[in-house]
Chains A and B, each alone.
Chain A
Amino acid sequence: MGNRRSSKALAVSMALLARIWRIRVVLLLSLPYLFLVGWLFSAEGTSDVRPAEVFVVPDPPRWEEPDHSHRFGTTGTGVDLYDLSRVAMANSVAVAVLSSGAGVMLAFLLVMLFANDPGENRFHLIKMLGRSGLLLPPFMVMVILTGGAGGSLIVAMVSMASVIGLILAPVVAEWFEDGEDGRDILAGYALGLTRPQIVRSRIVPVVVRRLLGVFAQLVPVAVLAEMALSFMGLTGDRISCGAMVAYGRELIIEAPWMALYPGVMAFLVVVAFSIMGTLVGAALRTGRYARFL
């Protein structure tokens, strides 16, 4: 019995288990993400709900206060606010993920334009752009761009991505500079690797790993920014928790729940994304899970 060779299936399954055990933190972190996003996007109702139609107040109004059947109450047209809030948050999260992703990629591409240059001041232009960008607060820039365009979602997303990219680019440039101080970089030069090879194989993987963490932490911030823009009516006529609070603000005496409960939903979702973003950022900073991401 002791001399029998172990089966191939057993060996493969053991290797698989070992691999899963090594990435257990990544798996654990991805589960709540999947759960939260799945819960948001599985709400009853469609994402092309127009708030101007849903929040119109007929005479007499058909709204209901929060109770067992409607946890968040209903709108004047009788639409359930709980489901509507979920649809709204799903929209906000989708916009925030797209904008943050585009912003992070923009920052990375900007830095990569200069990364292969061996000069000392190769990132000077990026740093100067980043500094001059703070002449005006980024949110004011977004408000001007979206407001001038008449409240367009595309412009809101583009402006958010541009602002994120410009603010993040100097930080990414510093990561590149920090990454060039390591002994492995010197070893790479000693072994005869070219600068592009060193940048591609030694520095970029570290930077990309950190960028994933930054992306995870940016999403809740972008959700808040998107909601603020939609609250001011600058992201077009589409459902968002900001727009819902704005419509509810007009009815705070007659139906205060319409302004309050969408905000509660927004707060809880942003808290959840913030906690997960912090955990992902911390896990990626340690560098233990780089190979699997």
Chain B
Amino acid sequence: MVRFIIQRWLVYVARVCGAGIFALLLIELAYCVFGGSDRHVWLVSSYEGVPVQFSREANGWWTLACGRFWNSFFVILIAYGGTLIIGYSWGVLSARLSRWKVSSLLSLPFSVFACVPGFWFVISVAVYSYFEWQRPGFANEVVVETGPDLMSWWYAGVVALPLLMTATAWQIRAVSESIEREAGNPFVKGLHVSGYRNEEIFYANIMRQSWKELIGLSDKMLPFIMGGIPCLEWAFGYNGLGSLFIDSVRGGYYEGVLLCCIWVSLTIGLITMIRELGVRFGTKE
């Protein structure tokens, strides 16, 4: 067990290092090859201090990125947590009710919402907030100085909602299809013939057989969520890692781009490692 954990940990470190190298290559390709810049990634002079626009938040890039990641953590928590909770529960429900073909119906609201451009949704929320509630709409327009900062949860929720809905639409379909595939196996027919009740077959047999595949689906939407965060945070003026990433890309700040990529790969790699450990130890039991 310990050996497996160490092995996975090493793979995790290798993945993050790989992502860092990949990000450096991308920066070189984008800025120097496509953009014609002479600031190569291997030159020390290409890496400057924190620019003026961020200097009020932190003195160093690492501190800045850590602070921004903590802000984005709320968004990730809502989007990814909600995807897992709703995706799995509705997916199991739609598989359970597959006889009535409700799978598409259950994922329909999420699929329709997935067609909404996320950046437009957050701007629409800001417009509504301004005209209906008579208060600043974008996240960077108000700062809570005293008392509990409940507004930060509201802002994080607005940014997370488009990602949550899109990811959930996929998750419901994936979970449902996975269980239905398992339900199509011959042993299910055998259990029916043997006189088992439907509930017993579904929960005690099909679900038990398919749980490994279901756990394997748990981290599939995380890259999508992490990839969607920059655009939405930037559109809504949310001071998170995503808006730091976009500002860094537009301003040509290599450290900002690199640190954002590393934070994202750390998060994705960590969830992937947890999933792999879960599958492994579940199999051993």
Give me the interface of A with B, judged by CB distance under 8 Å.
Answer: 132, 134-141, 143-150, 152, 155, 220, 224, 227-228, 231-233, 241-242, 245, 248-249, 252-253, 256, 259-260, 262-263, 266-267, 270-271, 274
CB distance from A150 to the nearest CB of B (A): 5
B167 to chain A, nearest CB (A): 12
User: A145-B29, A266-B120, A274-B115 are contacts. A155–B246 as well, Cβ < 8 Å?
Assistant: no
- Chain A residues with CB under 8 Å of B26's CB are 136, 141, 144-145, 148
8 shortest A-B CB distances, which residue pairs?
Answer: A148-B30, A137-B227, A263-B120, A149-B34, A147-B249, A139-B227, A135-B19, A148-B31
A256 touches B35 (CB 8 A): no
Contact yes or no, A224 B117, CB < 8 A: yes
Number of interface residues of B (CB under 8 A): 51
B87: interface (CB < 8 Å): no
Residues of the B chain whose Cβ atoms lie less than 8 Å from the Cβ of A249: 123, 235
Of listed B35, B126, B137, B265, residue having the most chain A CB within 10 A: B35
The answer to whether B246 and A252 touch across the interface, beta carbons within 8 angstroms, is no
Q: Is B245 an interface residue (CB 8 A)?
A: yes
Given contacts A136-B22, A232-B231, contact A270 B115 (CB under 8 A): yes
- Shortest C-beta distance, A89 to chain B (Å), equals 11
B192 to chain A, nearest CB (A): 27
Q: B226 near A: Cβ within 8 Å?
A: yes
> B34, A148: Cβ atoms under 8 Å?
yes
Identify which of A139, A145, A242 contacts B119 (C-beta below 8 A). Answer: A242
Q: List 11 A-B contacts (CB under 8 A).
A: A138-B223, A140-B226, A140-B230, A144-B249, A147-B30, A149-B31, A149-B35, A224-B115, A245-B123, A252-B126, A263-B116
Q: Are B127 and A139 in contact (CB under 8 A)?
A: no
Cβ-based interface call for B205 (8 A): no
Is B257 close to A, CB under 8 A? yes
Contact A140 B261 (CB under 8 A): yes
- B230 contacts which chain A residues (CB < 8 A)? 139-140, 143
Do residues A228 and B118 form an inter-chain contact, with CB atoms below 8 A? yes
Find chain A residues with CB under 8 A from B111 CB. Answer: 274
Known: A144-B249, A144-B257, A259-B127. A137 touches B264 (CB 8 A): yes
Pick the contact of A136: B114, B231, B250, B264 (CB < 8 A).
B264
Which one of B114, B124, B261, B268 contacts A263 once the chains associate, using CB atoms below 8 Å?
A: B124
B130: A residues at CB distance < 8 A: 252-253
Q: Give the Cβ gap from A235 to chain B, nearest Cβ, in Å.
A: 13
CB distance from B124 to the nearest CB of A (A): 6
Least distance between A99 CB and chain B CB atoms (Å): 16
Nearest A-chain residue to B232, judged by Cβ: A228
Query: Given that A150-B35, A228-B119, A270-B117 are contacting pairs, would A139 and B19 also be in contact in the complex, using a CB cutoff of 8 Å?
Result: no
Contact of B27 among A144, A242, A266 (CB under 8 A): A144
Q: Which residue of B lies closest to A253 (CB)?
A: B130
A241–B231 alpha-carbon span in the complex (Å): 15
Contacts of B252 in A (CB 8 A): 148
**Is B234's beta carbon under 8 Å from chain A?**
yes
Contact of B231 among A132, A134, A231, A252 (CB under 8 A): A231
Q: Is the CB of A241 within 8 A of B268?
A: no
**How distant is the Cα of A252 from the Cα of B123 in the complex, in angstroms?**
9
